[in-house]
Amino acid sequence: MVLAVLEGDRELGEIAAENNLNPNMVRTRKAEFIKNANRVFNERQSEKEIRRNGAELEQERDQMLKAIGQLTMERDFLQEVFRRNGYPVPAQDKSKR
């Protein structure tokens, strides 16, 4: 109905009569439609932002997992060096967790 009004091929009153509506109601709907038309583009933009943010978060997560793996390997190596040389392996400080 609103699209028919916007097309301009027929009068607003004619369209309202065909749909058994008050012409003021059709005017109000038309104004609301025009006022909120930008939402279509904003939602698409939001979807792009969400995808981009999701990709960035996944990349950051992968980097952190890689760093954790690297640090774990280094810790295990150092513990093995301590053991081989007869030194006690330093205890982990539980308060720093």
For the whole model, what pTM was predicted?
Answer: 0.46
Q: How far apart are CA 19 and CA 26, in angstroms?
A: 10
Let me know: does 15 contact 5? Beta carbons within 8 Å.
Answer: yes
Do 23 and 16 contact (CB within 8 A), yes or no?
Answer: yes
What is the residue-level pLDDT of the chain in tens, covering all 97 positions? 778 888 888 888 888 898 888 889 989 988 998 888 887 777 676 778 888 889 999 999 999 999 999 999 999 999 999 999 999 998 877 676 5
